[in-house]
Amino acid sequence: MNILIKDVLVLPMMASGREETLFRGCVGISDNRIEMVGHDDQEADRFRREHAGSLCEIDGRGKLLMPGFINIHNHVAMTLMRSYADDMPLMPWLTEKIWPFEAKEQPDDVRLGAELGIAEMLLGGTTTFVDMYWMQSSVAEAVCRSGIRAVLSPCFVDNRFEEFERDLMTVMDTYVGNCDGRIGVMIAPHAPYTCSSEHLSRALELSRRYDIGINIHVAETESEIETIAQRYGKSPVVYLRDLGIFERPAIAVHTVYLNDEDVAILKQYGVSVAHNPQSNMKISSGIAPVVRLLREGINVGIGTDGPCSNNDLDMWEEMRSASFLQKVATGDPCVLPAYEVLKMATVNGAKAIGMEGQLGEIAEGRLADVILIDICKPHLCPQHDLIANLVYCGKSSDVDTVIVNGRVVVEQGQLLTLDTKTLCRDIQTRVEEMLRRH
C-alpha cells in the first residue's frame, strides 16, 4: 500500500545528534518503507503523481507524526494474570502465585493473552515489542494476526530447558521470515538465579550457532545480588560476563543494583539496558541508575514489563515515570529531559534490538512504523513545548493512527486487526476456566 500523510507536524527523532526540531510537512510511504519526507506541498504533489491510482491519503491537520514506540521488555501473555497477584514482593510473587498459575497454561491460553496485550499496545502507539516468555510460538501467532512487530525471546528456567529449545526451533523455523518479516528472535534465560551455569552456557552456544542475541533479567533486586554472591562470589553482571554471555548482543533487563565494575562491563561489551520504572516501583525493587548509564554511553531503552507486574502496557506512563524517578533519585530536576526520554522509547529501543537505522526514526528508507497523535486535546494545550507535552501530558488515548510495516492497523483510535470487545469477553471466560484446572 502507498500512503501519503499530508499537512502534518513531524517529529523525526533522528539518532544522530539532537534533532528535535519539529516541522510541518508530509510523509510518503511505499510498501513497507518511508519513501518521502517532505517540507512542502510540491513534494506531496510529486509523491501523489508517482503513486496515482494506488494511494491512500491521510489528512494530518491537528496531528503530530512520530516513530512508533519500541517496548523493549514485556511478558505480553501475562495479561492473563493482570490483577491476579498484586502488592507482593518479587520472590513470593513468583513462587506462590505466578509460577503455579503458569503451570496451568496451554498454548491457546498464551496466544489469547498475547492478543489482548498486543491490542493494548497498538492502541497506545507501540509498534514493536520485545517479549520474554514460554510458548513463544503461540505469541508469534498473535503477532502475525495483529500486524505488530516483535522480537520474541523463548524463555527458560532450569527445569524448562528442553521445552525452551523446542519452542526456539519452532519460532525460528516457522515464523522468522514469514509474517512480512515482522518477527525477530532472541534467547531468554530468565535470570542468573533461576538458570544454572550449565544451562546458561548451552544457551550461549545456541546464540552463537544461530547468530541471535540474549535477553535476560539482571540485578533486579537486592535478594538476587545476595543469592549470586553466595553461590559464585560475584555480582550478577560479573558472573554473566565471566560465562561469556555479554560477548553476544544482549539486553540486560532492570539493572537496578550495579556497582562501578558492573557499569564498566555493560559499557565495555555494548550491552543495552531495558529500564522498567513502574514495575520496579510496584515490586519495590528500587530505582535503576539510568542517568549514570546514559552518561557512560550505555544504550538504555524503555520497557513496560508484563501486565501482571506493572499492570498495563502503556509506554506514555512509562516515559513519564522514567523521567520523574530519575529527577527525584538524583535530586536534579534537569536530568532525563523530555526529548531524551522520547529517544529511549524510540531510537534507543531500535538500537537495543539491532535495528538502528531501520526503526525509531522518521527518515527516507526507514521501515514505515509510525504513529499519529491527536494534539488538539485539552491536556496537550497550550503548546509552549510540544515535546514536553508529549512526555509529561501524553496519553494512550491521544493515539489516532498507527502504521506498522506500511499497513494501517489503528485508524481514528480503532484497532482494525483484532476485535477488542470479543477479546475482553474471551479472556474473562478463559481465565475463569484456567483457575478451575488442577
pTM over 0.95: yes
The domain locations on the chain are 2-67+367-415, 69-352
Amino acid at 329: A
CATH number of 69-352: 3.20.20.140
Amino acid at 161: F
How is domain 2-67+367-415 classified at the CATH fold level?
Answer: Urease, subunit C; domain 1 (2.30.40)
C-alpha cell read off for 360: 525509531
Query: With contact defined as beta carbons under 8 Å apart, do 413 and 371 qualify?
Result: no
The per-residue pLDDT for 17 is 53
C-alpha 221/C-alpha 397 separation (Å) is 33
Query: With contact defined as beta carbons under 8 Å apart, do 272 and 250 qualify?
Result: yes
DSSP letter (8 states) at residue 287? -
At 171-222, the pLDDT tens digits run 999 999 899 999 999 999 999 999 999 999 999 999 999 999 999 999 999 9
pLDDT (tens, 9 = 90+) of the chain, 438 residues, equals 899 999 999 999 986 655 558 999 999 999 999 999 999 999 999 999 999 889 999 999 999 999 999 999 999 999 999 999 899 887 888 889 988 999 999 999 999 999 999 999 999 999 999 999 999 999 999 999 999 999 999 999 999 999 999 999 999 999 998 999 999 999 999 999 999 999 999 999 999 999 999 999 999 999 999 999 999 999 999 999 999 999 999 999 999 999 999 999 999 999 999 999 999 999 899 999 999 999 999 999 999 999 988 999 999 999 999 999 999 999 999 999 999 999 999 999 999 999 999 999 999 999 999 999 999 999 999 999 999 999 999 999 999 999 999 999 999 999 999 999 999 999 999 999 999 986
> In the chain, helix, strand, coil percent, each to 5?
45, 25, 30
